[in-house]
Amino acid sequence: LGYSALAITDEYSFAGSARAHLALREAIERYPAARDFRLIHGTEIRLEDGPTLILLAKTRAGYGNLSQLVTLARRQARKGSYRLTLADLERHRHWLSDTIVIAKMGSESNFEPLARLAGKIDSDPIFLACELTRGADDAARLAALRELSARSGMPLVATGNVHMHVRRRKKLQDTLTAIRLRTPLERCGTQLAPNAERYLRPLYRLARIYPPELLAQTLSIASRCNFSLD
């Protein structure tokens, strides 16, 4: 597809990291040019009293810090679940060192707690995720996020929220969602993605959807993430 990097961000987990690492090794054996491809390891955390955060490891220390954070979240809830709050992040903000933090926020979200946190961590600025998936409100969403970025000082970056590698897996993705929700498929309603755009889209399609500066920011972030499971 022409991608130069890809971030694996399972929810409160690094479950896919080892498989992705081994897949990249196999790809390099077949296509030596794949050596230049950057696999980024991270996780997605949904704060109990705040936004969802995408956390990416920049270094070995950052990967260890994120592992500590995931372990804390798992220990604070029953088995199979997790719990993490803004207060937990404040208390353990040293675990955000050597990481990239990207916040998923709506235009009406309160950014003050994250702004305070950003001023206390020894890391890059907290970025603001811009996810555009060909929805009816994409233009309005982009405008609102740009305004929020200007007010908060958090730079915008394009994100894909990819759930499948190709469009035709949408039916399987819907089925897995229904299983997770323990709800019959026909009653899942808006819990299902409204279209099949959450896949690894070709670069030419991304260029039609996202402003160029938001795509350039993804390359800038990827260049700072040097950790490998090797």
Tens of pLDDT, residue by residue over 8-34, are: 999 989 989 999 999 999 999 999 889
Report the distance separating Cα 131 and Cα 220, nearest Å: 17
Tens of pLDDT, residue by residue over 125-141, are: 899 999 999 988 899 99
**Residue 9 β-bridge partners:** 42
pTM of the model: 0.93
Tens of pLDDT, residue by residue over 30-87, are: 998 899 999 999 999 999 988 999 999 999 999 999 999 999 999 999 988 899 999 9
* 210 — pLDDT class (breaks 50, 70, 90): very high
Q: Which amino acid is at 23?
A: A
Q: Chain centroid to CA 5: how far?
A: 13
pLDDT for position 196: 95
**Percent of the chain residues topping a pLDDT of 90:** 80
Report the distance separating Cα 103 and Cα 108, nearest Å: 13
